[in-house]
Chain A
Amino acid sequence: MTTVTIEVDGKSLPAQAGEMLICVTDRNDIYIPRFCYHEKLSIAANCRMCLVEVENAPKPMPACATPVMDGMKVFTRSKYAQTAQQGTMEFLLINHPLDCPVCDQGGECPLQDQAMDYGSDDSRFLEKKRSLPSHDIGPLIATEMTRCIHCTRCVRFGEEVAGVVELGAPGRGEHMQIGTFLNRSIDSEVSGNMIDLCPVGALTSKPYRFAARSWELQNHPGISPHDCLGTNINIQTLRDQVERVLPIDNPEINQCWLADRDRYSYEAVNSEQRLTQPMIKDGRKWREVDWETAINHATAGITTVLNSGSGNDIGKGIGGLAAASSTLEEFYLLQKLIRNMGSDNVDHRLQQCDFRDDNIAPRFPASEIQIQHYNNLAAVLLVGSNIRKEQPLLALRLRDGCNKKGTKISAINPVDFDFNFDTVESDVAAGGQMVRSLATQAAHVAQIKSAELPFDIKKIADSNPGFEQTANNLVAAGENGLIIIGALAQQHTDASLLKAISQWICDTTGCKLAVLGCANSAAGWIAQCVPGDNGMNAGQMLGQNGSAGLRCFILLGTEPELDSIDGKSALATLNKAEFVVQISAFKSASVMKYADVLLPMAAFTESAGTYINCEGRIQNAKVAVTPKGEARPGWKILRVMGNFLELNGFEQITIDDVTEEINLTDITPSCRLVELQFHPTLSSGEKSTPDLMESDSLIRVVDMPMYRAEVTLRHARALQQTADNPPPAAGLNPATASRLQLNDGNRVKVQNQSGSATLELRTNDRLAENCVYVPAGFMETTDLGRHVRVTVKKIE
């Protein structure tokens, strides 16, 4: 790149030869009006608002599409430029409704603003204005297409950034209309960004619509708690109520984007199901009480259980479970509370069922590659990851890298997920096959690098290689390669083995590793909200895997019957437990059945707290609104419980006092096991997962749908209505379905050792054969527990 000098409005400015004029002026704070240009989108040069005068050019030139040349002289505000800009503005306005007071965009509308500067207060347009029908495009985005100025930002966003073409511009001339081609809904998981991009009121937020005017809103910077990125959000409030969430541009994390999950989860905060008053159960009846009564009741119940133990057993019957979206401080105080009572039973990993590598676990699940470098990778292997739904904004970066840098992405997944990037190779393998597939890749790597393949991997690797390029790509990529362990791998019954094999591949190839934990799980680990050597993990506490389960629980923001992969055991254990304290922002029927005390907790917008993302980046969120009703921040509730239980170390006054107690030094994002161990159950030849090769029963593929994975999301009204949140159904590969003589739409009974679920059958050719996809996170499917072997029968 050569540096050139151009002159803009008499000022001489350095520029890169060939870059567009508008980039130079933007960098130097010289404002040129625009509608279609957007830094993150391709250039369309269609709105013609950015016309400027360029010396010796025969016509006004669009600044967004005019490459700079040395010595170029530009005038952005000359009479000539202004006449051109005003001309465009007049054209934009002739068919635009001039009723800003009834438009939701009013007050934050680039068209309205620029009309003030470049428009005239009188219209010469005497003809009838164009008006267009607006279609319902789903629960998130409201449309008023008459207001559209055809800048195609929304179309380009879909094509270029999101990777799903949901909006297009069919029709010609005046008949050109932005729309979904077949009157469909907009289903992308990042669709809300189109609202931010739309420069007029054509696309607005349906939930926010007409709730407030932008100038009335107060801005509160915050952190989205829903995935391991720590997306920066602007929580906008009016009269102490959250009205909207917008992105805060952070080039290192979310850029200017938000996932719909980050944008619309706030609706839960205002939901009717909020728990706003402490409640205790008197016999079988619930009643609202004041905080003191509630905490007294809670501590009395806990103390009773404590006292029923003896000697070394004191406290052992009690355990704490936190939601993965809790803050660092909440994680910390919960584990402190539990540990100070003499128990080591504390965990936040409700979705996990294989804990065999806990003793060799790294400090926290992390990504060894920084988020901002996800666009620059040479090769990626996704192991058990539907990254598009798990970390939507990371998927956008992978897509960008794939398109611009040719990142070669492979996947080993139980479902051939519909990614928004191309995969070079994709193995659809569920259950034990998934482990086998990964082991086979390891064998390839060993061969290429002439490395010795550990015996434990060799045993499971397939002699018949699945695919050819993946191992080569990873070897060639070296430290520019990445293996991503996703949620489906972490929920796998052989999660520890998947991690160990991946790590072996990384060690051998030099690739980096990422274990993308859910929500704020990194903080959970760092605050040691995980069991110690003598403690029980989430699975054991909840009576999974045949364990006895605990007698007393403190639950922090979690509903284990829905948050856990084995909801059946969780529910049974909780119902049986002697005493359950639920600290939560929401109430629900199932919780009311097993809990004894409900303590209303502040939602994520109502509490300060620290979030640690997968890079180990520490970010603090502040309070945006006062907690609803009597709700209090989680950390305060835990602190007061500590006081009432007369435990030491609960004297903190501010949240900073809590944070200071936590060791946050040396947070390096490394997710390698301290020592490479392939888990003994497999080394001894025992198969921990049913292996398809030897059995003709079906394997259940469990997944936590993106809007079911947290209690907050389950109460976010609009998100619950999206296409990403269909009612639970049983998915079957069409070949498998026809083998079982089942058809799409049949009602079927899915049955296993734990129980059964009656569901509608949906055939899905993206699913591995001989599998049944049944999501967790729904009461309808809880009964299936964790047993992987299932049968499917038609109900006549």
Chain B
Amino acid sequence: MEIEFNTVRKAYNVCLPDSSRDQPWTLKSYQANGGYQALEKILREKTPASEIIEALKASNLRGRGGAGFPVGVKWSFMPRDADGQKYVICNSDEGEPGTCKDRDILRLNPHALIEGMTIGGYVMGATVGYNYMRGEFWQPYEVMERAMKEARQAGYLGHNLLDSGFDFNLYSHLGAGAYICGEETALLNSLEGLKGEPRFKPPFPATFGLYGKPTTINNTESFASVPAILRGNGKWMNSQWFKDLGVENSGGVKVFSVTGHVKLPGNYEIKMGTPFSELLKMAGGVWKGRKLKAVIPGGSSVPVMPAINIMKANMDYDSLQQNGSAVGAGSVIIMDETTDMVKVLERISCFYFEESCGQCTPCREGTGWLYRIIRRINNGHGTMADLDTLLDVANRIEGRTICALGDAAAWPVQSFLKHFGHEFEAKVMAMDGLYAASAGRAGAAANPANATADSA
């Protein structure tokens, strides 16, 4: 099988293999680079689960799916010794606009994921795992299936792994193209064959997950990071090594998918805390010699940052947050000076409108409303009052929905208006300047009769 490699621009050999490795997706290559050492050792020595959890906690590995919840802590929530079936699930739905890192992990380093999930199964007492991939991941699916076959033959998957008495079966599952199925509880419903709608929490998956059984869901990158952390760069369980690669509160290395107006788009596995400016430089800088206007650093769901803010920031959880955004899924969308921010927001809002599952009122009704107002503004039929409404609608969605898609739809709106409000105002005024300006922003402009009366 031929798998192109050129999407990986920089690798640290934690989740992404570097280009010096020949066919890194094979078992042979993976083992030659330390692969499965961690699993073998654990199975052989029956390492207590608590030790592994402590190591993960100490590594400061945070969930790579978007929310950044510490992986070690999440694993400790599972009632490991409770009777009955338990599950570990890998979230490879990778639907966040701007993200393409999980795809490369699946294609280029499938065994890291398999090893990570098997260790997860061992730690959490789960004998069955599912890898839920988005429906378009046909090649990653094939690579994964082949890798799983290799792993099974080598005794890393299946019954009685390496004679340890521990079973772990892993299955691939392809979704059907809904972004919402990346939300962990919608994913569970989808896996069960139900409509992909998020469940309200509590109960959380750790107590009531797949088929009502204790379940842990982690992102592909989260699982794939685990073996390297435990190997500890040559020193068993030296998770401090991983932690020290990054900065306070953001351990290790992480893959950032850089897309948009750059010369060298692709995946960059870099140390947490790397200044954005350096990442931009690695990516060859803004294309066509243009200036940077704005960046969405973590996928379309996180707030946009104007150039001046992002240039100050480092690529880690704290720094991005302090500068008004978030790491999210690590999808860095670069926008140059010619970008029409109203149009970008229209596109983003259209996405959330289309992808809302429709279950809860604020998101079902609000995302369509947001999109339609922005589309109207972009088409030159907006009013100043629309800008107030837009912000208010976003505020009324945020924090009131079942899942975070509602927030994800609201945050771009809030941040675009905050940082680029003038572009929206300009669109309103350019097309209908006199009318809108005179009517003011008090909502009167919604009613032409009032507008005339006011302006008279």
Contacts and interface: CB of A to CB of B under 8 A. Distances in A.
A510 interface: no
A44 B373 CA distance: 29
Given A51-B400, A59-B399, A43 B361 contact: no
A88 B353 contact: no
A59 B410 CA distance: 14
Nearest to B202: A67
B361 A149 contact: yes
A51 B397 CA distance: 12
Contact of A59 (B366, B369, B400): B400
B400 A88 contact: yes
B64 interface: no
Contacts of A180: none
Nearest to A88: B361
Interface stretch (A124-132, A263-271, A480-488, A786-794): A124-132
Interface string A57-86: 011101001010000000000000000100
Interface stretch (A25-33, A166-174, A646-654, A743-751): A166-174
Given A51-B400, A59-B399, A173 B362 contact: no
A44 B200 CA distance: 8
Contacts of A49: 361
A60 B446 contact: no
B361 A174 contact: no
Interface residues of A, number: 37
17 contacts: A59-B400, A60-B399, A60-B400, A87-B396, A88-B362, A88-B400, A127-B369, A127-B373, A127-B376, A150-B358, A150-B359, A169-B195, A169-B358, A172-B180, A172-B358, A173-B367, A174-B356
Q: What is the size category of the interface that chain B forms with chain A?
A: 20 to 34
Contacts of A45: 200, 360, 402
Contacts of A174: 353, 356, 358, 364-365, 367-368
A397 B443 CA distance: 54
A175 interface: yes
Given A46-B359, A60-B400, A172-B357, A95 B200 contact: no
B198 to A, nearest CB: 10
B369 A150 contact: no
Interface string B388-403: 0100000010011110
B150 interface: no
B353 A46 contact: no
Contacts of B386: 126
Tell me which of B361, B368, B373, B399 has the highest count of chain A C-beta atoms within 10 A of its own C-beta: B361
B446 A62 contact: no
A92 interface: yes
A172 B180 CA distance: 10
Contact of A91 (B180, B359, B362): B362
Interface of A: 43-49, 51, 58-60, 62, 65, 67, 84, 87-88, 90-92, 94-95, 124-127, 130, 149-150, 169-176
Contact of A94 (B195, B369, B400): B369
Interface in B154-210: 178, 180, 195, 200, 202
Nearest to A35: B361
B401 to A, nearest CB: 7
Given A90-B396, A172-B180, A95 B355 contact: no
Contacts of A92: 361, 365
Tell me which of A46, A92, A94 has the highest count of chain B C-beta atoms within 10 A of its own C-beta: A46
Given A127-B372, A169-B195, A46 B400 contact: no
Contacts of A47: 360-361
B202 A125 contact: no
B400 A173 contact: no
A176 B364 contact: yes
Contacts of A88: 361-362, 400
B355 A48 contact: no
B354 interface: yes
Nearest to A43: B200
B43 to A, nearest CB: 39
B211 to A, nearest CB: 16
Contacts of B402: 45-46
Contacts of B355: 172-173
Contacts of B360: 45-48
A91 B446 contact: no
A429 B365 CA distance: 54
Contacts of B443: 124
A171 B358 contact: yes
Given A45-B200, A127-B372, A175 B446 contact: no
A176 B365 CA distance: 11
A175 B369 CA distance: 14
Contacts of A51: 400
A172 B351 CA distance: 13
A94 B366 CA distance: 9
A150 B356 CA distance: 14
Contacts of B361: 46-49, 88, 91-92, 149-150
A582 B226 CA distance: 86
B406 to A, nearest CB: 9
Contact of A173 (B358, B385, B389, B399): B358
A65 B358 contact: no
B178 A84 contact: no
Nearest to B443: A124
B400 A87 contact: yes
In the A-B complex, the 5 residue pairs with the closest CB atoms: A176-B358, A59-B399, A87-B396, A173-B356, A91-B365
A711 B359 CA distance: 45
Contacts of A95: 365
A47 B365 CA distance: 11
Contacts of B354: 172-173
B364 A150 contact: yes
Contacts of A60: 399-400
B400 A84 contact: yes
Contacts of B202: 67
A45 B402 CA distance: 8
Contacts of B399: 58-60
Nearest to A51: B400
A204 B386 CA distance: 37
Interface in B193-251: 195, 200, 202
Given A65-B200, A124-B446, A91 B358 contact: no
B254 to A, nearest CB: 26
Contacts of A150: 358-359, 361, 364
Contacts of B373: 126-127
B446 A94 contact: no
A275 to B, nearest CB: 52
B369 A125 contact: yes
Contacts of A149: 361
Given A44-B200, A91-B369, A172-B355, 17 more contacts: A44-B359, A45-B360, A45-B402, A46-B359, A47-B361, A48-B360, A48-B362, A58-B399, A124-B385, A124-B443, A126-B386, A127-B376, A171-B358, A173-B354, A173-B356, A173-B364, A174-B358
B206 to A, nearest CB: 16
A51 to B, nearest CB: 6
A125 B389 CA distance: 9
Contacts of B178: 172
Contacts of A169: 195, 358
Tell me which of B362, B372, B402, B443 has the highest count of chain A C-beta atoms within 10 A of its own C-beta: B362
A126 B443 CA distance: 12
B200 A48 contact: no
Given A92-B365, A95-B365, A176-B364, A48 B400 contact: yes
A173 B356 CA distance: 5
A151 to B, nearest CB: 9
Nearest to B446: A126
Interface in B392-420: 396, 399-402
B362 A87 contact: yes
Contacts of A91: 361-362, 364-366, 369, 396
A702 to B, nearest CB: 41
Given A46-B361, A48-B360, A150-B358, A173 B368 contact: yes
